[in-house]
Amino acid sequence: MSTFEFPIPTSFQSSVISSNLNSVILFSFLSATKMPANRARLVVLSTISLLYTLCMVQLVLQWYYINLVMITSGDTRDA
């Protein structure tokens, strides 16, 4: 890894990592499409909705874990 002439402040590193993580999570959340409901598509829409809900739960858990590992207990915190 390259070294800089001056150290980058820990608060700046933490805010950059957090903002990048938040923008990716927000983009993932807003990229869903809405389709009109139809009786013939009830099973498909229910399955897709369940899958989307499970993916959102997994996304929240990963978001929390990445935030915990990278920001809270990562190399960017002051020792």
Domains of the chain, residue spans: 12-76
Average pLDDT over residues 2-29: 75
Asked if residues 71 and 18 have their Cβ atoms less than 8 Å apart, the reply is: yes
pTM: 0.44
What pLDDT, on a 0 to 100 scale, did the predictor assign at position 4? 60
What pLDDT, on a 0 to 100 scale, did the predictor assign at position 2? 60
Average pLDDT over residues 12-41: 71
Q: Which long-range contacts (CB under 8 A, 24 or more apart) does 18-23 make?
A: 18/67, 18/71, 21/63, 21/66, 21/67, 21/70
What pLDDT, on a 0 to 100 scale, did the predictor assign at position 37? 56
